Amino acid sequence: MTSVIVLRDVRPLGGDPRDLVLAQGVVAAVTPPGGGELTGVVADAAEGAAGGTRRGPLVVDGRDLIALPGLVDLHTHLREPGREDAETVESGTRAAALGGYTTVFAMANTDPVADTAGVVEQVWRLGQDAGHCDVRPVGAVTRGLAGTQLAELGAMASSAAAVRVFSDDGHCVSDALLMRRALEYVKAFDGVVAQHAEEPRLTVGAQMNEGATAARLGLPGWPAVAEEAIIARDALLAGHVGSRLHICHVSTAGSVDIIRWAKAKGWQVTAEVTPHHLLLTEELVASYDPVFKVNPPLRTKADTEALRAGLADGTIDCVATDHAPHASEDKETEWAAARPGMLGLETALSVVIQTMVATGHLGWADVAERMAFAPARIGGVTDTVPDPTGFAQVGAPATLTLLDPQASRVIDPHALASRSGNTPYRGRNLPGLIRATFLRGRPTVLDGKIV
């Protein structure tokens, strides 16, 4: 693979067209389209990259393509080790690259659980071997996700995987004292605790959002207050101990209000929303198709509107996929027996375009902030995705993705890279296509296909 790449006529963050030269992992030159000096720069870069031997650069026609920073997902389930039938690090990161991602944070609810240095290093190495994007393992907060004893947070932080994000996701750290201890502990290495906010006593047997629709369908409800009570408690704890708290998959209008209040207090509270909670509502449950079963559950139209407004005004910092592949025997079954969770990596940007860009809530620079710069700051990976002012400037990491905003596609589960097929968007026509993705100057996707 040639190590010098010229991106012709791309629009960084949707702005004016530029030619970018990528060499040796960084942006080596930026000029107006067809800039006269580009030829010489390319030749120099090619010479340097090839150690003196001239090689032709790879030229990508970027007309009408928007260059965004490589996307960063704080919330991915890669299922390895333990459920390689549903997803592997290799297949999940392939899906990530095709979706424009260059970093994913792999959740800890694997088998065995990622609660020791050994397991997080295993996942990290699998990511390096696959090479499609950076994999940053999330460490469990409690041993075995059992919620009773703190896991080896320090050992995971100082391991080769350098864990900075800790979460029992799938389970709530419901014990207030354990949550306080975890928040105190991670301060030593600027870590963050990412909470799956669900008061477990309020959601026993829950099958969908609590409300009139659940009553009509005869399904036990998952009340908004079960999420909001934990967010309020943990925001107070984070403020009390001066630590960083991140709220996973915010799903209710009330949660947005509480996070807005916590931020106004000056506390270090950040939050994410999933694409499916921005677009889909509880009405879909009436089909009893388990592809729409997810935790937290799909909520009401009023909730999706509050989540969009919260993401637009920055109360919600970022979009995270909660990509949750499930094998068909766990998903294509009766509603009550089906596992909660949906695929998300290959459709996230498209759903954000539909819900946030096409509706006028966000521009392209805002999308870059919500899907790359902010999650990079929260997860501590600013070495790869540095900051908005440096993006596509000379010397910046050549970690970016090229989006065709005019193209669209009908989602076919069989055409996705994931090993599982549980996408809730089957048959939907979604806007936007990723044409290419680059990780530190190396293409991981070209012409919409894995390299």
Residues with a catalytic annotation lie at 322
The Cα–Cα gap between 82 and 72 comes to 24
Residue placing its CB nearer to Zn ion in the complex, 57 or 296: 296
In degrees, rounded to 5, the angle at the alpha carbon of residue 308 between the alpha carbons of residues 302 and 309 is 90
Interacting span for Zn ion (CB under 5 A) from 98-106, 116-124, 169-177, 260-268 = 169-177
* Cβ(89)–Cβ(105) below 8 Å: no
The SS3 of residue 284 is helix
* Residue with the shortest CB distance to Zn ion: 196
Cβ neighbors of 49 (< 8 A, separation 6 or more) are 3, 4, 23, 24, 55
Minimum gap (Å) between residue 170 Cβ and Zn ion:
6
* Cβ(176)–Cβ(249) below 8 Å: no
The Cα–Cα gap between 312 and 306 comes to 10
Cβ neighbors of 444 (< 8 A, separation 6 or more) are 97, 102, 131, 132, 133, 437, 438, 450, 451
Q: Which of 421, 362, 435 is CA-nearest to residue 64? A: 435
Residue placing its CB nearer to Zn ion in the complex, 235 or 398: 235
Residues 382-401 that bind Zn ion (CB under 5 A): none
Residues 239-298 that bind Zn ion (CB under 5 A): none
Minimum gap (Å) between residue 248 Cβ and Zn ion:
5
Residue placing its CB nearer to Zn ion in the complex, 196 or 244: 196
Residue placing its CB nearer to Zn ion in the complex, 230 or 434: 230
Minimum gap (Å) between residue 272 Cβ and Zn ion:
10
Residues 181-200 that bind Zn ion (CB under 5 A): 196
Minimum gap (Å) between residue 77 Cβ and Zn ion:
9
Residue placing its CB nearer to Zn ion in the complex, 222 or 364: 222
Total of residues contacting Zn ion (CB under 5 A) = 2
The Cα–Cα gap between 271 and 375 comes to 10
Sole binder of Zn ion in the list 90, 121, 169, 330 (CB under 5 A): 169
Minimum gap (Å) between residue 171 Cβ and Zn ion:
8
Q: Using the 8-state DSSP alphabet, how is residue 372 labeled?
A: I
Name the residues that contact Zn ion, by CB under 5 A.
Answer: 169, 196
